[in-house]
A and B are shown apart, each in its own frame.
Chain A
Amino acid sequence: MKTLCIPKQQNVLKTGIAFGIFLMISLFTTTVNAQETERTVTGQVTSNYGIVPSATVLLKGTYIGVVCDDDGKFTFPQKLKENDVLVVTSLGFKDREIKITGDTTYIEPFLEDIPIIITAALRTKATTAPLDIEKK
């Protein structure tokens, strides 16, 4: 009876060790995978009018981000992973959300124009003219 028990215990030990190794390997590989998918994203913001200078690119829900240069180009300051969402904002355009997919490292957000009619009525004051008349 005893001789039968020993191999059984050894079996448990063996499977335990095997499972441990498997666990470690799987853990290890997932971290390796995550490292692979994190990447630096660059891009250029464009619109109907061509490139858009000085747009803001932020990671959705945060204030982590960057302001584009005069050529509309940017390099996102933080490494991004799949399914991260960037929000591009600029004066006079609708916000644009861009989802990072697959192995994207370069994006070209296209901003849509806002429908707005420019009107103009400023307050004015004729200061000097009436004063001159009074002086005379």
Chain B
Amino acid sequence: MRRYLLLVCFIFMPFLHAQQSDFKTIDFTKAENIADRHKGEALTNLPMLAHQLTYTLDTDVERFRAIYYWVCHNIKGEYGLMLKNDRKRQKLKDDPEALHIWNHQFKRQVFKKLLNDKETLCTGYAYLVQELSRLAGLECKIINGYGLDGSMKSKNLEMPNHSWNVIKLNGKWYLCDATWSSGFTDVTTELFEFDYDNSFFLMQPSAFIKTHQPVDKEWTLLPQK
């Protein structure tokens, strides 16, 4: 009987354990110091930036930590872009062709802004985390879905409004959201303030689902029913 219980424990372990505390034995100070040292670095040479952020670190989780920490402390949220996109997407939601054209043009604008001013919205954050991870040899994906935070909860969300990442560490997928970790925008002044929130780094899936609902349910990382 005890043996079976143990077996059951092992079966559920991957779901129970995909969270930050898996790595509580690892000290992130070195990774964070590296990220701090490269504060203000430009995004023009991404391969070099990824290399500099990660090459002295020994584990994948530390490498990812340096990338995540750097992105959260160097990239600002752009409220104006967000409003513009929200309005346009809402307006064009019944016209897939126009929406496609809008997305095509807006995409360039977003990347230009990210490259030149290091300001972006969530897709830019998620994309940058993915790119730097890829260049550092880590497997990372962008997940699209519904972000439910404060005021957004009351809104009727018809279209996906948010993007975040999943990162593969030691063969397991973990959730994180660099956009919401980095800080917040004051709605009255429309200014962004860095305010690092570590809770969205490798957050437990059962907590993450409360604010993040992926379009593809598989990426909740919760046990599938």
Contact = CB atoms under 8 A, between A and B. Distances in A.
Interface of A: 49, 54, 56, 58, 63, 65, 67, 87, 89, 91-92, 113, 116-129
11 contacts: A65-B45, A116-B107, A118-B110, A119-B85, A120-B122, A121-B82, A121-B147, A123-B183, A123-B185, A125-B186, A129-B187
A124 B121 contact: no
Q: Is the interface of A mostly helix, strand, loop or mixed?
A: loop
Given A91-B115, A124-B151, A127-B188, A119 B44 contact: no
A122 B127 contact: no
Interface of B: 43-48, 51, 77-79, 81-82, 85-86, 103-104, 106-108, 110-111, 114-115, 121-123, 127-128, 131, 135, 142, 144, 147, 149-152, 160-163, 179-180, 183-189, 192
Nearest to B79: A122
Given A63-B51, A125-B184, A120 B161 contact: yes
A124 B142 contact: no
Contacts, number: 117
B44 A54 contact: yes
Given A56-B46, A125-B184, A125-B185, A117 B108 contact: no
B44 A56 contact: yes
A119 B163 contact: yes
Leading 4 A-B pairs by shortest Cβ distance: A92-B111, A121-B147, A120-B82, A120-B121
Nearest to B193: A125
A121 B43 contact: no
B123 A92 contact: no
A1 to B, nearest CB: 73
Nearest to A68: B44
Given A92-B127, A121-B82, A124-B150, A63 B47 contact: yes
Contacts of A56: 44-48
Contact of A118 (B47, B107, B149, B150): B107
Contact of B186 (A49, A67, A117, A124): A124
Contacts of A123: 77, 149-150, 179-180, 183-185
Contact of A121 (B107, B108, B161): B161
Contact of A92 (B85, B108, B135): B108
A49 B147 CA distance: 31
A122 B122 contact: yes
B185 A116 contact: no
